Chains A and B, each alone.
Chain A
Amino acid sequence: MVTKKKLMDSMMKERVFDIINCLFLIIVMVVTLYPFLNVLAISLNESTDTVRGGIYVWPREFTLNNYLEIMKYDNLVTGFINSVLRTVIGTILGVFAQAMVAFTLSRADFQGRKFVSTFLVLTMYFSGGLIPGYMLIRDLGLMNSFWVYILPGLVSAFNIIIIRSFMDGLPFSLQESAKMDGANDFTIFYRIILPLCKPVLATIALFVAVGQWNSWFDTYLFNSMNENLTTLQYELMKILDNTSMGGNVDANQMRPNEQQQNQVSPESIKMAITMVTVIPIMLVYPFVQRYFIQGMTLGAVKQ
């Protein structure tokens, strides 16, 4: 009897825990999901109607006008292609380069390990600043070229440290045994380290990809005069700047019946732009997610 009661008790406790847990997670979900749905609803709502307020998760007067308004701008397609290219190329090259540096730094037998690490960490605290950075890029001949999207950010100290600490957690005996089987350092890196590092590399890839996808400032600084090298975010930034207040007061002066035209308000444009920016990069998450969950090095070594 006593054991049965105890069992009941623990079951009850588990139940209560589950319920509270579920409730809590549902609240968290609502809190994170609602702003997104709200933005989506506003972006799909007639903009003059949005001004009246009261749009929550469902558009009141459905329209695609806000999106059509964005699509009217030139260069959006070029920008999209370039953004995808820089994201794909930048991520692949970036992750590979960073993993390689991290691997070198994780090896105790590397002589300059401490110095290089310190040197890398320094770059996290001190940067050259905008103007020297600009002049460096200019003198390196990277202005007006696609490589300015890839090369300057290729090796990031922060990411390297993350990858390195993950590699530090891998048993060194793995490398030793490989070496005994005749593998050289490159083989070890390709065949043993990289596969084992999949979870952390997926995370870093996501960091880099999101960063590449979102960045517009480099386009603005270095490639703004070359329409063929424009990126989606820079084009959207221009649209946003143009539709927000004070953009072009004069434009209205040229239209006598200003009030009659169906003006798309900056708020709606902003929301539509947010969606255009967020959705493509969101599509990457499901592909990367499984690596997050994957077990790490369980059962690889017995010591």
Chain B
Amino acid sequence: MRSCYKVFSLVLLTALLSIMAACQNSKEEVTSKSEGNGPITLTVFDSDTNPDWENMESPVGQKIKEDTGITLDPEFDIEGGQTKIPLMVASGEYPDMILPKNEASTLVEAGALIDLAPLIEEHAPNIKKMLGDDINRLKWSKDDPSIYILSNNTVDEDRAHPNFGALVQHDVVRELGYPDMKTLEDLENAIREYKKLHPEINGQPTIGLTLQTDGWRLQSATLNSGFMMTGGSDDGEYFVDPETYEATLHYRRPAEKEVFRWYNTMNDEGLLDPDSFVQKHDQWLSKLSTGRALATIAPDWMIYEAQSALREAGMEERMYGMYPITLSEEYKHHAFRDNGFQVGWGIGITKDCKDPVRAIKFLDYLVKEETQVMLNWGIEGEHYEVVDGKRVIPEDVLERRNNDKNFLKETGIGYNFSRFAPRYGDGALDSTGQTYTINTREQQIANQTEIEKEVLKNYGVELWKDLYPSKDEFPVSPWGAAYNLAIPSGSKLEVNNQRMLDITFKRVPEAILAEPEKFDAIWDQFMKDLDKVGVEESEEEFTQIVKDTVELWNN
């Protein structure tokens, strides 16, 4: 027996030694910087999937290859880089460029990314022109103002659709003669009256207001309505004072208590869907897509599937319009507040990059005006034509754009390449005064249903966004969107935020479903619970983060 142990420990030891030897055998660095525009292949690791990757063979891909001499060899990840990026760090082998999403700090801490600031300064006039002062937003942190990640977000975007509001069936406003839809009271009256007139829809009992409460969706739909209806803009759980940058946990604002009190009275009157706090996302969607629920309150992207199901089923009068409902008329709906250039996710160049200069020149090429037009519209003469100085998409191409699932793959238009660099958003204008994206006002109007057009006409507007205060009425937020600000992982603030969220998930439903006379007591308890976990301390810490960000970005 003893000899056995000896033999095995020997085997083990040799195995260990050989592994260690193998580890030391890391590859020698090959850094030959090529000059000029010769053909070169750059590897890219992208944390997002892309089933439409066209291998640089599409017309747009060919053109890019021709202009830059660069062939991309991408890897598209399915786990958001969460697995592969730590593996890269562990093995010390990086692709030439990388889009790390949430794993950027892992790479920065490992020293894997190079500072882009001098490269942009020297080789990227188009990026500088596109971003202007926003380039400061790319700075990594107060202690390290290098630029590691070039955001691939939109620039100068003027969103085509409002992203938050009260969703009300077209038939409700039509039948009631297009009443004002501005305050919660208006909404309540509309629901009450219509429900009285139609206690049943398609043989099923009518539901007044149904709420989205499934997990994190509770936050983005029902809970966010607190600040959205009281003149706040979407900054996540904290409301940030635009003057003092003072952060407040938004439920602590007195006005919001009144919003949640409104939900409470709705419940008391029987206008709130009694299933509201027990239903799952698909149950909520099914209520909307069968046309039973008169109204709900949610971001637009959440009900997308319901809208298309209604349209498909020909129930266009049951589709939903989006209204800027606020607590009372003194509040302005901030859905269109301009967050400015959003940073965080984007592309970086690694220290293993064969040729960082060629790489940054490539990114610079992608943001150039002509390239941006090409990435949205395609190749002139093939995917669009210029008539009287205006870009026009011919009928047959438009048809393919809408219905051919392989269109993006075959042409290379769109996110095949626009994902690698910042891009102009909807509504941004090029030097000829035309939009970069094809999502124009005319296109949107053409896409409306007849009933939608009628409803909008009666409210005196053309698009839903016209009902909202426009982007120009708000200054650009100097801290972007507060929910995007990085909270140090493992910090006390992070822990506290989670605890406060847990309390909120418990107390808010309790308050809404309580009898009206008990509402105040429960709300007070909610506030006390928040105090107990140290809400004020967290607010101070978050205020500091906001202030630091403002300072970093604006200097």
Choice from B282, B309, B426, B437 contacting A49 with Cβ under 8 Å: B309
Which positions 244-276 of chain A face chain B at CB distance < 8 Å? 247-248, 250-251, 253-263, 265, 267
Query: Which partner residue on chain B sits nearest A115 by CB separation?
Result: B4
Q: Is the CB of B415 within 8 A of A261?
A: no
Q: Is the CB of B290 within 8 A of A53?
A: yes
Q: Is the CB of B398 within 8 A of A139?
A: no
Query: Which partner residue on chain A sits nearest B93 by CB separation?
Result: A138
Which positions 420-466 of chain B face chain A at CB distance < 8 Å? 426, 437-439, 443-444, 446-447
Q: Is the CB of B49 within 8 A of A241?
A: yes
Interface presence of B206 (CB below 8 A): no
Contact mask for chain B residues 32-56; partner A; CB cutoff 8 A; 1 contact, 0 none:
0000000000000000111110000
How many Å lie between the Cα of A73 and that of B406 in the bound state?
Answer: 10
Tally of A interface residues using CB under 8 Å = 46
Residues of A contacting B444 in the complex (Cβ-Cβ under 8 angstroms): 256
Q: Is the CB of A259 within 8 A of B307?
A: yes
Q: Is the CB of B402 within 8 A of A255?
A: yes
Choice from A51, A136, A239, A257 contacting B309 with Cβ under 8 Å: A51
Nearest Cβ in chain A — how far from B504, in angstroms?
23
Interface presence of B244 (CB below 8 A): no
Choice from B8, B84, B415 contacting A115 with Cβ under 8 Å: B8
Nearest Cβ in chain A — how far from B73, in angstroms?
9
Interface presence of B83 (CB below 8 A): yes
Choice from B22, B52, B309, B376 contacting A52 with Cβ under 8 Å: B309
Interface presence of A295 (CB below 8 A): no
Choice from B1, B290, B415 contacting A254 with Cβ under 8 Å: B415
How many Å lie between the Cα of A283 and that of B348 in the bound state?
Answer: 48
Residues of B contacting A267 in the complex (Cβ-Cβ under 8 angstroms): 282
Interface presence of B476 (CB below 8 A): no
Residues of A contacting B23 in the complex (Cβ-Cβ under 8 angstroms): 135, 139
Q: Is the CB of A130 within 8 A of B83?
A: yes
Q: Is the CB of A51 within 8 A of B426?
A: no
Contact mask for chain B residues 216-237; partner A; CB cutoff 8 A; 1 contact, 0 none:
0000000000000000000000
How many Å lie between the Cα of A225 and that of B74 in the bound state?
Answer: 9
Choice from A48, A136, A237 contacting B312 with Cβ under 8 Å: A48
Q: Is the CB of B285 within 8 A of A251?
A: no
Interface presence of B484 (CB below 8 A): no
Q: Could you say which of B75, B305, B438 has the most chain A C-beta atoms within 10 Å of its C-beta?
A: B305
Choice from B1, B283, B402, B437 contacting A253 with Cβ under 8 Å: B437
How many Å lie between the Cα of A37 and that of B402 in the bound state?
Answer: 34
Given contacts A224-B75, A239-B51, A255-B402, contact A112 B408 (CB under 8 A): no
How many Å lie between the Cα of A49 and that of B52 in the bound state?
Answer: 27
Interface presence of A220 (CB below 8 A): yes
Which positions 10-31 of chain B face chain A at CB distance < 8 Å? 19, 22-23
Nearest Cβ in chain A — how far from B157, in angstroms?
11
Contact mask for chain B residues 68-105; partner A; CB cutoff 8 A; 1 contact, 0 none:
00000001001100011011001100000000000000
Q: Is the CB of B49 within 8 A of A247?
A: yes
Interface presence of B306 (CB below 8 A): yes
Q: Is the CB of B305 within 8 A of A256?
A: no
Interface presence of B555 (CB below 8 A): no
Q: Is the CB of B402 within 8 A of A72?
A: no
Binding site for B on A (CB under 8 A): 48-49, 51-54, 72-73, 111-112, 114-115, 119, 130-131, 134-136, 138-139, 220-221, 224-225, 237-239, 241-242, 247-248, 250-251, 253-263, 265, 267
Binding site for A on B (CB under 8 A): 1, 4-5, 8, 19, 22-23, 48-52, 75, 78-79, 83-84, 86-87, 90-91, 282-283, 285-287, 289-290, 305-309, 311-313, 376, 398, 401-403, 405-408, 413-415, 418-419, 426, 437-439, 443-444, 446-447
Ordered by A's residue number, 13 sampled pairs between the chains whose C-beta atoms are within 8 Å are A48-B312, A51-B289, A51-B306, A53-B283, A72-B405, A139-B22, A237-B78, A238-B49, A248-B48, A254-B415, A254-B438, A256-B398, A262-B312
